[in-house]
A and B are shown apart, each in its own frame.
Chain A
Amino acid sequence: MSALSDQLVTFAILAYLVAMISHAVEFALGNVRARVRVAAARPVRELVGAGVGAPGDTVAAPTDPAPPVTVATGRSAGRARLAGRIAVVATAVAALLHLAALVTRGVAADRMPWGNMYEFVLTVTFIGVAAWLVVLAKRPSLRKLGLFLTLVMVLLVATAELVLYVPVVPLVPALNSYWFVIHVSTIVFSSGIFLLGVVPAVSFLMRRGYEAGKRSFPYTLAKRLPSAAALERLTFVLHAFAFPIFTFAVIAGAIWAEAAWGRPWGWDPKETWAFISWVVYAGYLHARATPSVKRNVATWIAVLGFFTMLMNLFGVNIFFTGLHSYAGLS
């Protein structure tokens, strides 16, 4: 069972890779199409100019490019759409493999698969991709963000398999409590959503620069992205959704710590970084709700929050020793 789980993880990584490449193809074809459209823009504008007298034309013209252009772009646009669909299907397949890997791992260990850092990262990334699929189902227009998402998935899951892997072992007594399920599941869930939240956050920052007329390197990537307002909205929705869950998870952790270690809060490195993340995300939500703070400043705070989460997921386990030393790294 455990070996099956390991193989499933490998296949999941491959599927994420396929998804990433398909997204990249979609992106590239989208750029081609955009260039063609820019080239075709001039005659269209003339059409508009000619049709000023007729109100119907002015509305129709910008959305309806001239026939030759449609033929030229149609093929690559169709290909881009196809690549995008393949990418989404590959992501879904990868997510299923990912889930199967977690389930088999849990069955092999006869417990929830959150006992060490390898399993933890696998679960967090799964939550991230599952939440992404939900977002995608609700707002298909955000599909192009998948490139960034699958890139993050490939990196994180591959890191988990190559660096963090440990064989299946039962839980140490300290983890043997029903709080394990409550605390860890909510932490995993909220971490997954927070980690997903950085995708629209970074996209928003790039797209906002693009919409403001910046055409230098990182901003040009945002040419085909959804509108800045939509990205910003999604960033907020994800963070506002994850924040109370994270708060609950930290409180549950404090209740558990009271039972296990005798104090609800002891500034263990993990606790300290959870506190830092909480404060940073609280800062984001406050900044977002304050009209005088610009939206890009608020979003930068969310990106900062992402780095504190990464620090907590990886850095704390690697650099510090503390009571949360269950990573299995040595």
Chain B
Amino acid sequence: MLIQQLVNALTLGAIYSLIALGYTLVYGILAMINFAHSEVLMLGAFMALGLAALLPAIFGTGVVGLVGMFILSMAGAGVINVLVERFAYRPLRHISRLAPLISAIGVSIILQNGVFLWISTQSLRFPEPVAIGQVPVFGATISTLQITILAAALILMGLLHFFVERTKLGKAMRACSDDIQTAGLMGINPDYIIALTFFIGGALGGAAGVLYGMNYGSIKYNLGFLPGAKAFTAAVLGGIGNIRGAVLGGFILGILEVLASGYIPNGAQWRDVIAFTVLIIVLLVRPSGLLGEKIAEKV
């Protein structure tokens, strides 16, 4: 029972982590909450559904079709995120801290209502990309779907880690995150790196959306909001702006939620209360999150 719950928790946590990475990457560079991120994740799921529905011969089945669906949805979600940054955030970048936030809320409403008006007002069934089988492990049964989700998430996190730590562009991203002005003086084009960050964040969000659709079997125009808010919480819990923190926060939140609904009487009702209470307590003890660096006082 415990192992079963833990697997459920890890699956949920992996999805939260991927979304949280999108928030934290953008925050690390621009110190801005990308409120439209939850809609990017929703659009990722819809793009995957669109691919599987329009080109069933190519996408959605088999390893190649599945990977292709993932890559195209991720690229699409990344491009949308870049466009949002270009048109709704960049003009406001140096003006005030709250203006991009309001613009982001506006974009989020536009994207959500766009899907609501022009695609579907109802839940749509998400195709089953893998044949669902049960694998017995240590007395628990794990579905192949959960294994797929976990594997996909871990591979993406590994790729991100490699990109950020081992490539030149990743180095430029880290430099911009440290100090964007100095990075600019060193010959890094900040606009390009910011766009790249939005692309990567959006692509991870899109992947999370596809995984979310696979996990729950149906998608709707407003699916992004709840996991978006949870993942944002997870990013803050881990220390916003910190990549490892986002992953840690995502998994902690997933575990907390699943264990709370499984082991506390009436836990399903109280699970979000428990998650948020833990968040508040953690932040009171560690004001910049679990792995966040201590922010120096502004002088």
A and B together in one complex:
no
Q: Which A residues fall within an 8 A CB radius of B?
A: none
Q: Which B residues fall within an 8 A CB radius of A?
A: none
